[in-house]
């Protein structure tokens, strides 16, 4: 089969880690008889340098013409980069928000898995990390505070800023349906996270999630407040299977969950719309301080490529092959610097990509 994949390498370490993911995909293509045709695209700081804006209409259209998009990290040093002297709507991250909205990418999936081989890198106590955990955080991605009406103005002589958190029932229902569908393929448990004791938007969220749950009697649903959930992630992460929540809560909780796995460099993500199309990217940032040194961890980008095969191309066997190759490399004791521990062999970014490729 032939597939068209848009590739946005991005800024900082983006080019390095995405190149390793493409190396792995090329090996999958050879082994399983596929053709992956890549279209190189610009977004973020590199697009600002070339086009003067973080995202062009041409790039949006090229993404729409692809079966899926593989992306690296975008952005730079917020204190020294000239990109951050520009107005907010022309900075690198504005391109990402616009792309998500333009492609209708409302569901962000972040698997947070603690591999047995990396339990020593976990920041939690050994009695907690020894249990391991495998949770998937599903974050609503195109609504809430990040996309609501906002303004800063002087009111009665006092500068006042307003950000609006808005959700309608259709936005909540579609992300809830995604969460229950994914849970049916996992351990059949959904934790819906809100702040229903304070916010009207959360009370509507809880009402709609309860309605959706009626169609999935095999799935256990629990509701949890966001502050309590933040505590439970560091107290007992093994209790969670699929967690679904709104945009800002999901942004914060997924980073917290990422940290307890040991490194952001291990965590992939998928952003999906109502079709099989998706944008796949590592959860970590562009790390400009280590860019070009060949020391970044490419595993998150490689696992993002695995998610691309699984969710957008329906290539389950091929996705399993990548994930098993990652596990084998870790079992064999190879580590990049961020997950290095005693008795293991430290390798560079490009070496890690080659090692995983060899095990497919």
312 in Cβ contact with 277 (< 8 Å): yes
Kindly write down the DSSP assignment for every residue of 138-190, as one continuous string: EEE-SSGGGTS-EEEEEETTEEEEEE-----HHHHHHHHHHHHHHHHTTTSEE
- Find tokens 């949890």 and name the residue: 224
Q: Which of 218, 192, 217 lies closest to 206, judged by CA?
A: 192
- In terms of Cβ atoms closer than 10 Å to its own Cβ (0-12, 13-18, 19+), residue 253 is buried
**Catalytic status, residue 146:** yes
Marked catalytic residue, from 251, 294, 328, 348: 251
Which is nearest to 206 in space by CA: 249, 176, 241?
Answer: 176
- SS3 call for 304: helix
Distance CA(11)–CA(291), nearest Å, equals: 9
**Is 194 noted as a catalytic residue in this protein?**
no
- Catalytic residue selected from 23, 32, 134, 255: 255
Selected catalytic residue, list 167, 195, 216, 280: 195
Cα 97 to Cα 55: distance, rounded to the nearest angstrom: 10
Active-site residue, selected from the candidate residues 3, 115, 146, 167: 146
Concerning whether 294 is annotated as a catalytic residue, the answer is no
Answer yes or no: 227 catalytic. Answer: yes
134 is catalytic: no
Question: Considering 200, 227, 314, 332, which one is annotated as catalytic?
Answer: 227
Q: Which residues of 214-233 are buried (b: 16+ CB within 10 A; e: fewer)?
A: eebeebebeebbbeebbeeb
Which residue in this structure is represented by tokens 């969670």?
240
So which residues are the catalytic ones? 146, 195, 227, 251, 255
């Amino acid at each position: 089969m032939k597939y068209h994949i848009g590739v946005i390498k991005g800024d900082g370490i983006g080019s390095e880690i995405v190149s390793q993911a493409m190396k792995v995909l090329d090996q999958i293509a050879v082994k399983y008889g596929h053709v992956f045709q890549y279209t190189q695209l610009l977004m973020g700081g590199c697009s600002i340098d070339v086009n003067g804006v973080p995202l062009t209409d041409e790039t949006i259209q090229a993404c729409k013409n692809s079966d899926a998009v593989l992306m690296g990290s975008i952005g730079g040093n917020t204190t020294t980069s000239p990109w951050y002297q520009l107005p907010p709507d022309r900075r690198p991250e504005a391109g990402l928000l616009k792309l998500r909205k333009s492609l209708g990418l409302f569901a962000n999936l972040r698997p947070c898995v603690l591999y047995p081989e990396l339990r020593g890198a976990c920041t939690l106590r050994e009695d907690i990390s020894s249990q391991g955990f495998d949770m998937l955080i599903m974050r609503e991605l195109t609504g809430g505070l990040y996309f609501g009406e906002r303004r800063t103005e002087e009111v009665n002589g006092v500068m006042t800023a307003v950000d609006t958190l808005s959700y309608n029932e259709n936005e909540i229902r579609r992300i809830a349906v995604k969460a229950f569908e994914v849970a049916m393929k996992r351990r059949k448990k959904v934790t819906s996270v809100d702040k229903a004791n304070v916010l009207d938007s959360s009370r509507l969220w809880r009402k709609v999630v309860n309605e959706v749950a009626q169609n999935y009697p095999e799935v256990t649903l629990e509701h949890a407040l966001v502050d309590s959930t933040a505590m439970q992630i560091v107290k007992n992460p093994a209790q969670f299977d699929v967690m679904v929540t709104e945009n800002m809560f999901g942004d914060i909780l997924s980073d917290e969950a990422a940290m307890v796995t040991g490194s952001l460099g291990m965590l992939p993500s998928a952003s999906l719309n109502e079709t099989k199309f998706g944008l796949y990217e590592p959860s970590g940032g562009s790390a400009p301080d280590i860019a070009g040194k060949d020391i970044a961890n490419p595993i998150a980008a490689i696992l993002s490529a695995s998610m691309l095969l699984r969710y957008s191309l329906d290539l389950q066997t091929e996705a399993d092959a990548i994930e098993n190759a990652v596990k084998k490399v870790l079992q064999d004791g190879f580590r990049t610097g961020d997950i290095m521990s005693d008795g293991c062999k430290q390798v560079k970014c490009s070496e890690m990509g080659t090692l995983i490729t060899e095990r497919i």
